[in-house]
Chains A and B, each alone.
Chain A
Amino acid sequence: MDSIAIEANSLNKTFKTKVGLWKTKSKSTVAVEDISFEVKRGELFGLLGPNGAGKTTTVKMLTTLLLPTHGTARILGLDVVRHTAEVRKHIGFAFSGSRGLYNRLTAIQNLKYFAELYALDPQVTRKRSHQLLELVGLAARGDDKVETFSSGMIQRLHLARALLHDPEVLFLDEPTVGIDPVGSRELRQTIKNLISLGKTILLTTHYMAEAEELCQRIAIINRGRIVALDSPEALKRRISGDSVIEASIQAGQMQVIMDQLRILDGKTVVELKNVSEPEIVTIRTPEPARVLELLSPYLNPQYIQELEVRNQTLEDVYVTIIKAGGQ
């Protein structure tokens, strides 16, 4: 059996729209450009990127909802363009937000309807609906109309719907957007459980902590291109072992601190993170001891109110890569 569940080769998507009052001019927008990656069976793979980076467009091509302009994609060895109907039987997908369900129907009625689209046997549907509602923590609300559900409950019902036909590959597009911290944690636990059941999951998100906690590998996507692809740990190592020093500076004292840091070489990057009071400066440096030595005369509330030295997080890596224009 092929060990690759999802395969994207040079995927490209360009949208053409007519513009102008008389729609005489054509405008092309490149949403995804030359994206290639592979996801192994049983892997939880993350697509990380800012809004408009091309994450959802990529997922929609992989789920057969959009046709690629160029390039190919395979799910479990099946081409998404040539074997569309077959691919659809093996995948499940859930997009973020409160759309995608019939609000006037109950949770169970929604699940029954979508199960029928996958030609599930009514007995199987009944059994799986209850199992899945249990899995996503909605067992007590099965007979309630979706219009009475919170965002988090809707998102969990989306997940149950996507799992109805027991797909081998699951696409989750920003599943925790708009969900409170408790709901997000529960959903992340559910996703972990799915991985333990052997599902392959492609998850898009712009929450770093979520990606770091869940994903075995991450592709960072920016302006339609993959700009980094590796495990979270390897991505963090990419910024060559730099440390991050975050300092809260008393108002009006920033210039004094910046003057102290000016003598450092070009490998140290100083960024102003927060311009309101207190001002927060982030220093990424391969020489944390040297930076601390320079700042030590100012370690008092008149200048530096707080100082924290930490290792790079995925968020630091992400910000560095995105700010560098994806290089």
Chain B
Amino acid sequence: MKDIRWGLIKQQMLVQLHVRTLNLLSLGLFVIQPAVFTAVGMLLSHAAGNAMPDLVYTVIGGGIMGMWSGLVFSSTYDITGDRLYGTLELIVGSPTSLTTIEAIRTLTNVLAGVSSLGLAFLAALAIFGYSLKGINFWGAIVSLLLLLFAMWCIGIFLANFLAWSRLSGGFVDYIEMPIAFLCGFMYPIRVLPGWLQILSGAIPIRWALQAMNESLLGNHDWSFLVIHWAITIGISLVFIAITRCLQDKVHDSIRVSGELSSI
């Protein structure tokens, strides 16, 4: 990503907003979908016998689900759309690397997803009476930033596969929900069986999310938070390293197979 520059970020984000994000489909993706997740979460919480649903996991968790689904869906659609419209060849055939473009696109998708989280948060405050009293504000803010970073890392990691094969969109689609379940988007991670908790430890999103949820629940144990942040950063960097290793291989592979323009 040596070729990253402000002008490119600005232009790529503008294209992304015009072509993909600012349309009715995205309204469904970033607004309606999280609302559905939240409603289902509240129903399940009610069915489990809770008089008052846990707003952090049901309402805000719904926002996180919307954010994650939006990221996966948009990233898949970006590459598929570029293949379909013949723009993938033009991007790959330019001096700017595809990984750089994917990094900016994923960032745009992650930032667009913040709208899901923001709406969910507003809904929790305005509709469900969630109180900010007692929360660890700065803990939540830092955790949120690291959550976005972790999602971005996973996004660019997955983008490699999406570029590599036109069929990999299916693969990315079917890891969407398992990752959401493994990371405890809508419930505390401790309810998962031990072996699943170990498995989920490999996903950086899980650590940042756990830190954010704990901060929103009023946990002021900074050592707990710092450890979770450090693990988030560490695993995210591993994903970036893997992405860097894969990028040249993917670049060569798609030029051997001719996958650039296939539909």
Q: What mask results when residues 149 to 180 of chain B are scored 1 for a CB within 8 Å of chain A, else 0?
A: 00000000000000000000000000000000
- Measured between C-beta atoms, what is the minimum distance from A125 to chain B in Å? 9
Quick check: A105 and B93 within 8 Å, CB to CB?
Answer: no
Q: Does A37 contact B (CB under 8 A)?
A: no
Q: Does A45 contact B (CB under 8 A)?
A: no
Q: Does B92 contact A (CB under 8 A)?
A: yes
- Measured between C-beta atoms, what is the minimum distance from A36 to chain B in Å? 21
Contact of A95 among B14, B89, B101 (CB under 8 A): B89
Contact A102 B11, CB 8 Å, known A15-B258, A67-B256: no
Quick check: B85 and A103 within 8 Å, CB to CB?
Answer: yes
Cα–Cα, bound, A89→B93 (Å):
9
Quick check: A105 and B19 within 8 Å, CB to CB?
Answer: yes
Cα–Cα, bound, A60→B254 (Å):
12
Quick check: A119 and B19 within 8 Å, CB to CB?
Answer: no
Contact A117 B87, CB 8 Å, known A15-B257, A105-B19: no
Q: Does A52 contact B (CB under 8 A)?
A: no
Q: Does B221 contact A (CB under 8 A)?
A: no
Quick check: A118 and B95 within 8 Å, CB to CB?
Answer: yes
Question: What does DSSP make chain B's interface, helix, strand, loop or mixed?
Answer: helix
- Measured between C-beta atoms, what is the minimum distance from B102 to chain A in Å? 13
Quick check: B93 and A63 within 8 Å, CB to CB?
Answer: yes
Q: Which residues of B contact A103 (CB under 8 A)?
A: 85
Q: Which residues of A contact B257 (CB under 8 A)?
A: 15-16
Interface size class of B (residues with CB under 8 A): 20 to 34
Quick check: B95 and A117 within 8 Å, CB to CB?
Answer: yes
- B245-263 residues at the A interface, CB under 8 angstroms: 252, 255-258, 260
Contact of B86 among A16, A97, A104, A116 (CB under 8 A): A97
Cα–Cα, bound, A218→B209 (Å):
63
- A55-88 residues at the B interface, CB under 8 angstroms: 60, 63-67, 85, 88
Q: Which residues of A contact B47 (CB under 8 A)?
A: none
Cα–Cα, bound, A102→B91 (Å):
12
- 25 A/B residue pairs, CB under 8 Å, sorted by A: A15-B258, A63-B93, A65-B260, A66-B258, A67-B255, A88-B94, A95-B86, A95-B89, A99-B85, A101-B87, A102-B19, A102-B87, A103-B85, A104-B18, A105-B19, A109-B14, A116-B7, A116-B11, A116-B96, A117-B90, A117-B101, A118-B94, A119-B7, A119-B96, A122-B7
Query: 10 shortest A-B CB distances, which residue pairs?
Result: A99-B86, A117-B94, A100-B86, A116-B11, A67-B255, A117-B96, A88-B95, A116-B8, A113-B11, A89-B95
Question: Measuring CB to CB, which residues of chain B are less than 8 angstroms from any residue of chain A?
Answer: 3, 5, 7-8, 11-12, 14-15, 18-19, 84-87, 89-96, 101, 252, 255-258, 260
